[in-house]
Amino acid sequence: MNLTVNGAACEIDGSALTPLLDVLRDELGVTGPKAGCHQGGCGACTVLVDGEPRRSCLMPAGYAEGAEIVTVEGIGAPEDLAPIQQAFVHYYAAQCGFCTSGMLLAAQAYLARGGSDDHESIQEALAGHVCRCTGYAKIIDAVAAAARGDSFDLTTTAVGKHTTMATGGAE
Amino acid sequence: MKVVGARIPRYDGVAHVTGRTTYVDDVRVPGTLWAKALRSPVHHAAVTKLDTSAAESMPGVHAVITWEDVPLLEYGHLSALGIPADEPLLAKDEVRYLGQPIAVVAAESEQLAAAAVAAIDVAFEERPALLDVRAAFDPDAPKIHQWGNWYPHFENEMDRRQIRKGDIDRAFEDADTIVQGVYRPAAIEHAPIETQVCQVVPEPDGRLTIYSCTQALYFSLGVVAAHLQQPLNRFKLVGGTTGGGFGGKVDTATETVTCLLVLKANRPVKWRWTREEEFLCSSTRAPWHMELATAVTRDGWILGQKMLTLHDAGAYARFSPYGLTKHSFHHTGAYSIPHLHFDGYVVFTNRVPTTAMRGFGVTSVSFAVETHMNRIANLLGLDPIEIRLKNANRIGDTSPNGVSYTDPSTVDTLKAIADAIGHELPADYRTMTNEPRSGELLPEHLVAQVGSTEGH
Amino acid sequence: MAVASVAVDAATETMVPGSEDEAIAAFGDGVGVVVVGGGTIVVPDLTYRRIRPSKTLMLGHAGLAGIETDGAQVTIGAMTPVQDLVDLPAPLGPCAANVADLEIRSQGTVGGNLCAGDAPEAPRGDLQGAFLALGATVRFAADGEVAEEPLEDFLGEHSGRLVLGVSFDEPAAGAFAGLDRPHTHDYTALAVSGAKGNDGTLRLAVTGAGSWGARLPSAEAAAGDPEAAGKAALQDVSPRDDALASAWYRTKVLPALVRRVLTEMGASS
């Protein structure tokens, strides 16, 4: 099966039934999308499939064939953050960060279809995404700010380096 | 103040929004085996048979562990605080809660590990389950714990936390009425978006590197070392990145078992819990049963309080004695009540063992006391904020265990609440402060409880 | 390289037909075949090893999606995502909008929803009530033969039958009233749909009061008086306790939902 992931063409083995989430994380080493429940209930696994937000834990890999998949790693890098990522940093919209990947992509798709800074519309777009840390208010503020096109001075809230855990070796 | 109120960077903020934060399941080590657990399907039973041979001989299975593989089977989470051990790492001879781990398999894939778990030959003889803390005290209640149905090892071998202050009988005689209430908050599942997970790697120098989502690195290190009877420096614990914990990731729920699998299989192992396991078998905030009887006067003074607390510890003690202790120190909430009669029990039931969660031991009391205050106000026909302001802790008032408050913020908080909700207060309440009680705010019944009035 | 956490048995054969004819042929008599629509129900069942099929039929590329209108008749393909229904008139539109969230609606399909009975925690065929109220007909294949049947007869009897599509006539009026969900990942505990045909036929249907959506004939008979109809509806259901709501609560709420639907339809006609 052939997919494009964050712009890179990938060929994947295995059953067409394997959830896309597991193909991304286990076979391709793309660990941005998270497994929060493996049953579609939390939104941590959401990726963009041809620009549309989809639960990757529910999507058989065979249904992603030929599609362009974008994960959180594909919307911006530390030295070049997308507006929605900047807004999340500025508004402290991530605490533990585990729901953040899915939230960002759902928000990104919302903005791409012209979403406004109306809080109810934002809530509707992000309704499937569970966060246990922030209480959602900062997330909604961040999406609203990005919808308005606010710009931020990130020098006070972003740092150049970030923590990673040393691994035993690359897959 | 340089930091409070200022914008400062989150050191992990950029990593979180770019998907670069490495959580335990993102750590990928070549050769990793995957773990699945055999868990008790019933609340309470004897294990009459446990034969793992079929699982062990399945292709792709590298290790199966049971209680026999654990060097020190029982190690108390709070052994260092003198709370003795009562919980086996893996069940031996009996199971005491639905979901209790009995055996764990490490295999080439999670699917293979699950198939191997299904192949373990295990049999149970069910026993009556105790699921209601109130029933624990019945003479014919099933006995479900080697210590009896409630924790008996507080100091001086007390079987409860007990507070006696002042003269409760006098308070009840002097009262205009007694207000009663029973408060029973249910268990709460932490439900972090990241489930329990652990990755352990055997290093060439004989050490084990443990990637853990624990909230309490050094604590977990000690627990692992104790169960495995190894020196602390045998382990390198890599942590600090947790996808939500809220108190639910302090039980060292996966690290020890994963290490044992690594030692037996001589391969890296990862154990990650499904969301179903997280809901079914991970520890929760405890359910509580609290009975309050409060002696009050017509004009809203609280003279005394009788309280009985039953804390549902689930099948094993873990941190419950500590939680109940905190609860007992705070059992009057934000209010100064001079005459007290408190008994609190850590009760065992055949449920998942309970653990810490934000405000461990104290949120239960806040819920009970605040709801009870509203009940008192309703019954007396008094304003719910005014009655609180009157009885609120002030400098020099003492806690249930006799500690003087040096700068309690109850008065200011209540006034801010009234302001925020547009609740008008009379002038004499609007001007209240937390200064030591005097005049009308120091009626006779509060005099004896006043301690040191040195404020901040 | 073996995918370490692969949920799928290597032994499971996957069939991916490229057309309706291929799908019908691959399905055959359906014995031992698990049909995968959007995957929202089947994929978690596979992941959690609740089902371990020897054969799966994946319909994502079989061209079974789409909404067609021919005069008054509306035909909806089995693989149409629920999201595609949200702008349709009541009851179907608001019923669809009340399902899950945008992402799950975009992945879940009409066909899957019509074949969905009980989840462990609650009934899950949220669209069934709206389609029943519309007097819908199901087009399906069994053993290579294509046939049609009223949805009422089809619900719960889908074994051995492959849903291809569902059709109904545009109603003259329609309404939907459902309990709010605590969170989008919950099914709807109770909902009532109503529709009035151009010939004056009035249908009312409920979901959440049993494993499958069902008509409310006693309420329909009393439809002239919304209050009486609400009470009468209780004769048509035996709700159960489940994770979402108690039977008691459902019996309290059902009359109110029936009243709301009838009042709304009465106001619009």
Of the pLDDT bands very low, low, confident and very high (cuts 50, 70, 90), residue A167 is: very low
Residues of A in contact with C38 (CB under 8 A): 58
Give the tens place of pLDDT for each residue, C13-45: 999 999 999 999 999 999 999 999 999 999 999
Domain spans in chain A, listed from the N-terminal domain onward: 2-74, 83-155
Nearest by Cα to C257 from C171, C193, C189:
C193
Are the CB atoms for A129 and A99 separated by under 8 Å? yes
**Does position B278 have pLDDT exceeding 90, yes or no?**
yes
The answer to whether residue B455 sits within a structural domain is: yes
Sorted by where each starts, the structural domains of chain C and their CATH numbers stand as 67-268 (3.30.465.10)
The answer to whether residue B179 sits within a structural domain is: no
What is the per-residue pLDDT for C7? 53
| Residues A136-160, mean pLDDT to the nearest whole number | 87
Nearest to A63 among C60, C103, C104 (CB): C60
- Is A81 near chain B, with CB under 8 Å? yes
Could you give the percent of chain A with pLDDT greater than 90?
Answer: 84
CATH architecture classification, A2-74: Roll (3.10)
Chains that touch A (3 or more CB pairs under 8 A): B, C
**Does position C8 have pLDDT exceeding 70, yes or no?**
no
**Does position B316 have pLDDT exceeding 70, yes or no?**
yes
Of the pLDDT bands very low, low, confident and very high (cuts 50, 70, 90), residue C6 is: very low
Candidates C58, C103, C104, C183: best to mutate against A (most CBs of A within 10 A) is: C103
Give the tens place of pLDDT for each residue, A57-66: 999 999 999 9
Nearest by Cα to B266 from B106, B115, B111, B116:
B106
The answer to whether residue B428 sits within a structural domain is: yes
Of the pLDDT bands very low, low, confident and very high (cuts 50, 70, 90), residue B9 is: confident
Q: Which residue has the higher pLDDT, B454 or B26?
A: B26
Whether residue C6 and residue B32 make contact (CB cut-off 8 A), yes or no, is: no
Mean of pLDDT over chain B: 96
Among B76-90, B299-313, B412-426, which stretch is predicted with the lowest mean pLDDT? B76-90
Closest-CA distance, B163 to chain A, in angstroms, reads: 36
- Pair of tokens at residue A55: 């639960």
Whether residue C12 and residue A16 make contact (CB cut-off 8 A), yes or no, is: no
Residue of C nearest to B272 (CA): C5
Candidates A154, A167, A171: best to mutate against B (most CBs of B within 10 A) is: A167
**Does position B455 have pLDDT exceeding 90, yes or no?**
no
Per the structure, the count of domains in chain B is 1
Chains that touch B (3 or more CB pairs under 8 A): A, C
What is the per-residue pLDDT for B240? 81
DSSP chain C: ---TT--S-TT-EEE--SSHHHHHHHHTT-TTEEEESSSTTHHHHHHTTS---SEEEE-TTS----EEEETTEEEEETT-BGGGGTTSPTTHHHHHHTSS-HHHHHHSBHHHHHT--B-SSSB--TTHHHHHHTT-EEEEEETTEEEEEEHHHHTT--TT-EEEEEEEEPPSEEEEEEPPPSSTTSPPS-EEEEEE-TTS-EEEEEESSSSS-EE-HHHHHTTTSHHHHHHHHGGG------SS--HHHHHHHHHHHHHHHHHHHHHH-
Mean of pLDDT over chain A: 90
Cα-based distances in Å from B96 to B104, B128, B168, B412, B443: 17, 10, 39, 47, 52
Give the tens place of pLDDT for each residue, B126-173: 999 999 999 999 999 999 999 999 999 999 999 999 999 999 999 999
| Residues B323-350, mean pLDDT to the nearest whole number | 96
Residue of A nearest to C44 (CA): A39
Of the pLDDT bands very low, low, confident and very high (cuts 50, 70, 90), residue B201 is: very high
Whether residue A162 and residue B21 make contact (CB cut-off 8 A), yes or no, is: yes
What is the per-residue pLDDT for B8? 84
**Does position C4 have pLDDT exceeding 80, yes or no?**
no
**Does position A124 have pLDDT exceeding 80, yes or no?**
yes
**Does position B320 have pLDDT exceeding 50, yes or no?**
yes
The torsion region of residue B428 among left (phi > 0), alpha (psi -120 to 50) and beta comes to: alpha
- Is B191 near chain A, with CB under 8 Å? yes
Residues of C in contact with A29 (CB under 8 A): none
End-to-end CA distance of chain C: give it in Å, rounded.
63
**Does position B49 have pLDDT exceeding 70, yes or no?**
yes
Among A1-5, B127-131, B170-174, C48-52, which stretch is predicted with the lowest mean pLDDT? C48-52
Residues 6+ apart with CB under 8 A from B351: B43, B97, B98, B131, B187, B312, B314, B315
Are the CB atoms for B363 and B190 separated by under 8 Å? no
d(CA B106, CA B254): 13
Whether residue B201 and residue A168 make contact (CB cut-off 8 A), yes or no, is: yes
d(CA A16, CA C61): 12
Give the tens place of pLDDT for each residue, C123-148: 999 999 999 999 999 999 999 999 99
Closest-CA distance, B110 to chain A, in angstroms, reads: 12
Cα-based distances in Å from B11 to A88, A137, B212: 14, 21, 20
Give the tens place of pLDDT for each residue, B50-88: 999 999 999 999 999 999 999 999 998 888 777 899 999
The answer to whether residue B387 sits within a structural domain is: yes
What is the per-residue pLDDT for B2? 78
Of the pLDDT bands very low, low, confident and very high (cuts 50, 70, 90), residue A161 is: very low
Q: In the A/B pair of chains, how many CB contacts fall below 8 A?
A: 151
Residues of B in contact with A102 (CB under 8 A): none
Q: In the B/C pair of chains, how many CB contacts fall below 8 A?
A: 23
What is the per-residue pLDDT for C1? 34
Strand partners, C138: C149, C166
**Does position A155 have pLDDT exceeding 90, yes or no?**
no
What is the per-residue pLDDT for C5? 46
Chains that touch C (3 or more CB pairs under 8 A): A, B
Whether residue B12 and residue A88 make contact (CB cut-off 8 A), yes or no, is: no
Residue of A nearest to C181 (CA): A127
CATH architecture classification, A83-155: Orthogonal Bundle (1.10)
**Does position A163 have pLDDT exceeding 60, yes or no?**
no
| Residues A21-49, mean pLDDT to the nearest whole number | 97
| Residues C81-99, mean pLDDT to the nearest whole number | 97
Whether residue C1 and residue A52 make contact (CB cut-off 8 A), yes or no, is: no
What is the per-residue pLDDT for B454? 67
d(CA A23, CA A35): 12
Whether residue A15 and residue C58 make contact (CB cut-off 8 A), yes or no, is: no
**Does position A170 have pLDDT exceeding 60, yes or no?**
no
Give the tens place of pLDDT for each residue, C188-226: 999 999 999 999 999 999 999 999 999 999 999 999 999
**Does position B427 have pLDDT exceeding 70, yes or no?**
yes
Quote the domain boundaries for residue B427: 383-456
